[in-house]
Amino acid sequence: MIPSIVRYVEAADGTRIAWHTHASDEASVRAKVPIVLTNGLSTTPNFWDPLIAELAPDHRVVHWSYRGHFDSESARSHDYAIATHADDLARVTDAVRSHGAFDRPPVHVAFSMGVTVALEMVRRRPDLASALVLVAGGADRPHADSPVFRVPGAARTIRAALAAASPIVPRLSPIARRVARSPAIYAVARATGAIGKGAPRAEVETFFRAVGAMDLEAYWESLRSLMEAHASDVLGRVRVPTLVISPERDLLASVDDLEAMRRAIPGAEWMYLARTSHAILLEAGNEVAQRIRAFVAERVA
């Protein structure tokens, strides 16, 4: 296990945002290419373990947590908008640069909801990325091109339903914790296709237990914001090397959606992994990590 050093940045509303540098000896990687890992919604740190193990010996690998997630403080302003998460990422990135000696911005590796967050950061601060790796996530809300969202008023109705449910979500914490600890949850996730055969049971159960224990307001309000996300207009303006990584079967981001995103980004590269699901980082983390290592060596280092 590679040790980590935790630091904090202060968000615009005063919320403390945690970021971890993963290195056996931080001084030895201070001048190395920094790689910033951005979670999906509620993604637990164990999703990144294969990437950290592969990349940390030769890179300054940083993992951070959204407001209300894990080591970061719940939002003092109760603001969990995608644009706010993106501003938090920009502040973390500035801090990463100030603690290092690499002469260019970091490589950003984003997973699931993190793809939208990273693209929103690029919209506001294109100077903060030297390359992008976008894994199992689209630029816009999940299933943005689904026929359901083409029905007039459908998106507005869904947003209204999510908003109406917000006041009761905090009361559901005990139920969420019981469900998250259920031994049946792994089987249910497999049966619904949320995860594939390659996802280790222990790692998946770690994820569900952590989600059940987290601040449900942070989860719910971030989910509401994700359902309003729209960053596809940024894609044509991306001017850094980009790698898009797609699972075969993903309930949240289809291969077609990810291919469309790759085509919209000038010069973007593509990696497709058969027999993987949205839990691609658990199912094929070593392959993903090796491809990212090669991409960074060729395009940035």
Best CA proximity match to 115, nearest among 262, 287, 218: 262
Radius of gyration of the chain (CA): 18
Superfamily per CATH, domain 4-299: Alpha/Beta hydrolase fold, catalytic domain (3.40.50.1820)
- CA separation for the pair 171, 239 (Å, rounded): 45
Q: What is the pLDDT of residue 274?
A: 95
**pLDDT value, residue 206:** 84
Contact 190, 282 (CB under 8 A): no
pLDDT digit string (tens) for 145-200?
655 455 566 566 666 655 555 665 565 556 556 666 777 777 878 888 778 888 88
Low pLDDT (below 70) residues in the chain: 143-180
pLDDT value of residue 154: 58
pLDDT value, residue 213: 78
What is the DSSP track for 110-152?
Answer: EETHHHHHHHHHHHH-GGG-SEEEEES--SBSTTTTSHHHHST
Q: What is the DSSP letter of 240?
A: S
Alpha-carbon distance of 196 to 49, in angstroms, equals 18
Beta-sheet pairing, 16-22 with 60-64: antiparallel
Per the CB < 8 A criterion, the answer to whether 209 and 52 are in contact is no
Structure tokens at 155: 């998106």
75 contact partners, CB below 8 Å, separation of at least 6: 11, 13, 15, 67, 68, 84, 218
List the domain boundaries for the chain: 4-299
Integer Cα distance of 14 and 269 in angstroms: 38
Prediction pTM value = 0.90
Q: How would you classify the pairing of strands 242-247 and 131-135? A: parallel
Residue 196's pLDDT is what? 84
